Amino acid sequence: MFSLLLQICFISFKSQKFIFEITIFVMKKNANLFLILILLIAACKEKDIDKTSVFEGTYVAPVAHSKFDNAIVTKVSNSTFSLQYVLGKSAPFLIIPTVTLQSDSTFEFDLVAALAPDTIKYNVKGDGKIFPNRIVISGEAINRSNSLDFYNLNFEGYR
């Protein structure tokens, strides 16, 4: 009886050892597969795509506004650009240093958030849509101390 019990324990031990060895083998293979998967994911990771350089240039309004008729877009980073309101060939009426793309074609800007609030006279906020040949902006500049002093910054222009 004792020898039978010993044989059963030995077989059980051998099968446990065998199962343990198979488990280690599978784990090693899975670890290698996991490492390969991590390397593939890292290699295929989406790079910081340049979304703004395609929009760079001067957009001209078909009908001139009283203060501006051009909007000049200049790339700042892959997802931000600066925006200048200009009348003809004169100096910019307004420069917005940071306009942030929200998606491939929509954007927002907030001059108070971009600069120190106590250094500017106007709250300048807006949003819009931009395409390689067209820009549409809705915005306004409101005097911080006199809300009756404001500029409408709505603009539609083409390249």
Looking at the predicted structure, is the pLDDT value of residue 2 above 50?
no
Say which residue, 9 or 152, is predicted with more confidence: 152
Name residue, tokens 């899975």.
Answer: 30
Looking at the predicted structure, is the pLDDT value of residue 72 above 60?
yes
| Global pTM exceeds 0.85 | no
Q: Average pLDDT of 41-50?
A: 63
At 16-37, the pLDDT tens digits run 565 556 556 656 666 665 566 4
Q: How far is residue 131 CA from its own chain's centroid?
A: 16
pLDDT value of position 6: 44
Residue 128 exposed, middle or buried by CB count within 10 Å (0-12, 13-18, 19+): buried
